[in-house]
Amino acid sequence: MTTVEQAEKLILAEARDFGTENIPFEQALGRALAEDIKADRDLPPFNRVTMDGIAISYKAIESHITAFKIKATQAAGDEPVDIESLDECIEIMTGAALPNTVDTIIPYEHIEIKNSVATILNAAVKKSQNLHFKGADKQKGQIVATAGQVVSPAIISVAASVGKAELLVRKMLRIVVVSSGDELVDIDVQPLPIQIRKSNSYTIRAVLSQNQQHADLLHIPDDPEITGEKIGYCLQNYDVVLMTGGISMGKFDYIPRALEEMQVKTIFHKVSQRPGKPFWFGKHENGVLVFAFPGNPVATFMCLHRYFLPWLRVTQGLKAKSSVYAVLDEDFTFKPELQYFLQVTLRFSEEGKLFATPVEGNGSGDFANLADTDAFMELPLQRSEFKKSEAFRVWPFNNI
Amino acid sequence: MTTVEQAEKLILAEARDFGTENIPFEQALGRALAEDIKADRDLPPFNRVTMDGIAISYKAIESHITAFKIKATQAAGDEPVDIESLDECIEIMTGAALPNTVDTIIPYEHIEIKNSVATILNAAVKKSQNLHFKGADKQKGQIVATAGQVVSPAIISVAASVGKAELLVRKMLRIVVVSSGDELVDIDVQPLPIQIRKSNSYTIRAVLSQNQQHADLLHIPDDPEITGEKIGYCLQNYDVVLMTGGISMGKFDYIPRALEEMQVKTIFHKVSQRPGKPFWFGKHENGVLVFAFPGNPVATFMCLHRYFLPWLRVTQGLKAKSSVYAVLDEDFTFKPELQYFLQVTLRFSEEGKLFATPVEGNGSGDFANLADTDAFMELPLQRSEFKKSEAFRVWPFNNI
């Protein structure tokens, strides 16, 4: 059987570039940046005053001058005004551009102003104090954000500062989420005792939406002809098909047959893991990828976070995310020869350690637990006893 | 001067309930759930088959029967079909409702079917295997998600399963972000050498958008009359006013005067912290809160994460988030008697420890660094030497 590690490799090998697009910079939040952003001028663009007060020449301090005639007042955005002698100052505001003839800012707190004369109170003055020098943060042409970063609020800030009203980002994929089976009914329908409501498709769409991807939803009834038509439609109109359920050995699973007839090649079927053993992955000759997640909600959720999102990152050209590890805070036993994905809650100790507490569900169908847990802990395949205080990799699905 | 801790308390004391609204469940992603969600029936709603294969009565195994006539085939969603004798079986599919006369599922992998007779291959059979029993996850009426949780994809899943097409969530706030100053120009304008482009407002709006809040943007020029009018408008039309810059002792800061004239009471002004010392917080008599963040981008960003988002959580009725702590991985010195918020990058060790590496900017104006860091580390006020391997609280602004 395919191992988790092999499955991951086979999936990542199918990552490819779906192109880029220019979009208004605020809409780019959360998208994958596809260009380096460069400073269009020095940052700050001028010697910038960082306190309200007076601007003087430090030479005045060296000459023991303590009282200064206010020659002019200069607000942020005003043209700089020069002094003509050392006993003059400019009353100046935060954000203003420092005039050439001054080099030191003394804040209001340290002066007293009477009759247009500012006198320094008993305060030490350091040359160049309360200034943020031209180019101190970045110099013109220097890179301020790089391709392969997720566009964060900080990058939005940087883009605004350098005048990038549009950003080049990786295109969103055309994704369809396919559910199947006559036992599934819509949310607003009262199901018969033997029916259940659709839920996996919405879960998948929600996770995609958190990752700035949109997905269409499609339901296929248990009918071979309609199945063939709809699968054909998906393979022609989408980049990726995500299926939930429908890939098994069951008599009424028309989907595997339809995929086979349409030349979708199996890359792997079944992974030595729990949940999610029946996970199937394939590729159409036109390049469309089909991720067929097992029908049970926890398995779908796990496969989405363990396989699909990492594939999406690579596909979007994003830098690898650093892995998260947590310390098991009680012993745990899992006997089957499968790689187990244990549902855990996470919390930090004041010593900076991340602790994981197992929350055992009733098998892989128990999605109700997911609402109360934070991550899957990936327990190594070769072992069955996992000890309190051992650390293992975790795949968080809620923000830590 | 107000300490960070005092400022936090004063702000959280002003949290209040802005009401609730019902919205379509998929739109509720990321919003604050304001009701408990209960199972409308048992989960699963019936004894659910978890493997494709045959359903038999375990009594047959006890009677050493190994070959079974296939009486009928039952797919998921089909009415259950009963057997009439122990040597009969039902060919049954994943997701089907278990008929009353059978209690054990033997998967296809462990049987051979010839001429409508299924024979068990050399495999151990356990009573009740491959079944997920009615009510095993949750029982009818049991709570599956609670008020005060952020609506996650798992909660979307749960809501869909129990037929909650609409969810009651906390209302979004009416928020306006106010920038001011004639030195600020729009993104798409080529600034004069003494001007800079607006960026803080967009940063704030991006952070709010990550927290499912919308904000209007408003710019106030350096004009006392327009300032008065616009501040008045904000106090009448919004729940919260977020300002960036404009609250200082500067001569052209018309905003403090306008706020005072309109009976906005100062709750605190200046916090013993860096960046963000000039942070001002006040309240209008009609209850509108005014957060006036200092104009420099890093200070605004820090105050937003350290004060505003925690206030927003409480206001939205969300359960407290557990604090994040990280281990400093190099010595750091900070002399001023201020609580320092150090920009750090974060990474996990394989032992589950979160490490923080200081990335020093050029003072609080250096927002370009924010794009490369992950969090602010809050260093205690009373100390100036911080040693490698000590742990302190961090405020992440990027997903870990």
CA atoms within 13 A on the CB side of A12: 14
List chain B domain ranges: 4-18+172-315, 20-43+136-170, 48-132, 324-396
In this predicted structure, what is the pLDDT of residue A250?
63
* Window 13-32 of B, Cβ < 8 Å to A: 25-26, 29-30
In this predicted structure, what is the pLDDT of residue B94?
87
Residue written as token pair 């949780």: B149
Residue A360: band (very low, low, confident or very high) from pLDDT cuts 50, 70, 90: confident
Hey, of A152, A321, A364, A388, which one would you mutate to test binding to chain B, going by the most B CBs within 10 A of its CB? A152
In this predicted structure, what is the pLDDT of residue B246?
67
**pLDDT over threshold 80, residue A223:** yes
Q: Which of A254-258, A347-351, B131-135, B178-182 has the highest mean pLDDT?
A: A347-351
Mean pLDDT, chain A, rounded, equals 93
The tens digit of pLDDT for each residue in A134-177 reads 998 889 999 999 999 999 999 999 999 999 999 999 999 999 99
B324-396: CATH class: mainly beta
A135 touches chain B (CB under 8 A): no
In 10 A of CB A94, how many CB atoms? Answer: 28
The tens digit of pLDDT for each residue in A176-207 reads 999 988 889 999 999 999 999 999 999 999 99
Under DSSP, is residue A26 helix (H, G, I), strand (E, B) or coil? helix
CA of A397, closest CA in chain B: separation in Å?
9
Smallest Cβ–Cβ distance between A183 and the set B77, B157, B251 belongs to B77
A237 touches chain B (CB under 8 A): no
Residues contacting residue B167 through CB under 8 Å, at least 6 positions apart: B22, B23, B25, B28, B31, B33, B35, B37, B151, B159
Taking contacts as CB-CB distances below 8 angstroms, the residues of chain A near B367 are 137, 154, 157-158, 161
Angle at A236 between CA B94 and CA A295, to 5 degrees: 15
Rg of the Cα atoms in chain B: 31
In this predicted structure, what is the pLDDT of residue B248?
65
In this predicted structure, what is the pLDDT of residue B250?
63
B77 touches chain A (CB under 8 A): yes
H/E run at residue A386: strand A385-386
* Window 140-159 of A, Cβ < 8 Å to B: 144-145, 149-150, 152-158
In this predicted structure, what is the pLDDT of residue B207?
97
A79 touches chain B (CB under 8 A): yes
Superfamily, domain A20-43+136-170: Molybdopterin biosynthesis moea protein, domain 2 (3.90.105.10)
In 10 A of CB A136, how many CB atoms? Answer: 18
* Angstrom distance (rounded) from CA B323 to CA A349: 9
**pLDDT over threshold 60, residue A364:** no
Smallest Cβ–Cβ distance between B76 and the set A137, A181, A348 belongs to A181
Whether residues B250 and A94 touch (CB distance < 8 A) is answered with yes
In this predicted structure, what is the pLDDT of residue B321?
86
Structure tokens at A36: 């380096």
Whether residues A249 and B193 touch (CB distance < 8 A) is answered with no
Nearest to A153 by CA among B153, B308, B172, B323: B308
Whether residues B354 and A354 touch (CB distance < 8 A) is answered with yes
Smallest Cβ–Cβ distance between A206 and the set B26, B181, B207 belongs to B26
Whether residues A195 and B77 touch (CB distance < 8 A) is answered with yes
B245 touches chain A (CB under 8 A): yes
Give the CATH fold of the B48-132 domain.
Molybdopterin biosynthesis moeA protein; domain 3 (2.170.190)
Q: What is the mean pLDDT of residues A337-356?
A: 96
Q: How far apart are the first and last CA of chain B?
A: 33
In this predicted structure, what is the pLDDT of residue A17?
96
Query: Rounded to the nearest 5°, which phi and psi values hold at B395?
Result: -115, 95
User: pLDDT tens digits for chain B (400 residues)?
Assistant: 999 999 999 999 999 999 999 999 999 999 999 999 999 999 889 999 988 899 999 999 999 999 999 999 998 889 999 999 999 999 999 889 999 999 999 999 999 999 999 999 988 999 999 999 999 888 999 999 999 999 999 999 999 999 999 999 999 999 999 999 888 999 999 999 999 999 999 999 999 999 999 999 999 988 999 999 999 999 999 999 999 976 765 666 788 889 989 999 999 999 999 999 989 999 999 999 999 998 888 999 999 999 999 999 999 999 988 899 999 999 999 999 999 999 999 999 999 999 999 987 655 556 668 888 999 999 999 899 999 999 999 999 987 7
Superfamily, domain A4-18+172-315: MoaB/Mog-like domain (3.40.980.10)
In this predicted structure, what is the pLDDT of residue A240?
98
Nearest to A322 by CA among A356, A354, A369: A354
H/E run at residue A125: none
Taking contacts as CB-CB distances below 8 angstroms, the residues of chain B near A31 are none
Taking contacts as CB-CB distances below 8 angstroms, the residues of chain A near B189 are 163
The tens digit of pLDDT for each residue in A269-315 reads 999 999 999 899 999 999 999 999 988 889 999 999 999 999 999 99
B276 touches chain A (CB under 8 A): no
